[in-house]
Amino acid sequence: MKKFIEEFKAFALRGNVVDMAIGVLIGGAFGALVGSFTDNIITPILNCIGGGVEFGWAIPLIGEQKLLIGNFVSAVINFLIYALVIFMVMKSMNKLAELGKKKEEEAPAAEQAPDPNVVLLTEIRDLLKEKQ
């Protein structure tokens, strides 16, 4: 049992697991924020545009069953907000990665270029050899 607890500690305290846990917690909080934004801001605006019609549109079916179109539209809006935010985050991360790669590529190129003083001294040496 003691070995199991030690293995679990080693697993749980690894950097990737902790980072993932933080991401899940922030994602959950962000989900609540997006849900609140959709329910409390977007839905009332759509209700005003729709002439005050309740956004919880439903198509009655047999008996008590209904197709909840309003809930589906709300879920689509939530998805689009999530997708937009993830796209913006990924685009900025890719741009930062490209900047890092450019700096790495420029650094070796600068190191490989010969020093102008060395080039000049080499030319002087060669000219002196020719005169002798």
- What pLDDT does 110 receive? 54
Residue type (1 letter), 121: L
Hey, which residues does 60 pair with through a beta bridge?
66
Question: pLDDT averaged over consecutive 10-residue blocks of the chain (132 residues)?
Answer: 82 71 82 83 74 63 80 81 84 84 68 76 87 78
Q: What angle do CA 68, 79, 36 make, to 5 degrees?
A: 75
pTM of the predicted protein model: 0.50
Name the helix (H) or strand (E) containing 68.
Answer: strand 66-68
Instruction: Please count the helices (runs of H) and the strands (runs of E) in the chain.
Output: 5, 2
- What pLDDT does 109 receive? 57
CA-based Rg of the chain, rounded to a whole angstrom?
31
Closest CA to 73 of 49, 103, 108: 49
- What pLDDT does 55 receive? 54
Closest CA to 122 of 114, 112, 111, 110: 114
**Residues for the chain: how many in total?**
132
- What pLDDT does 52 receive? 54
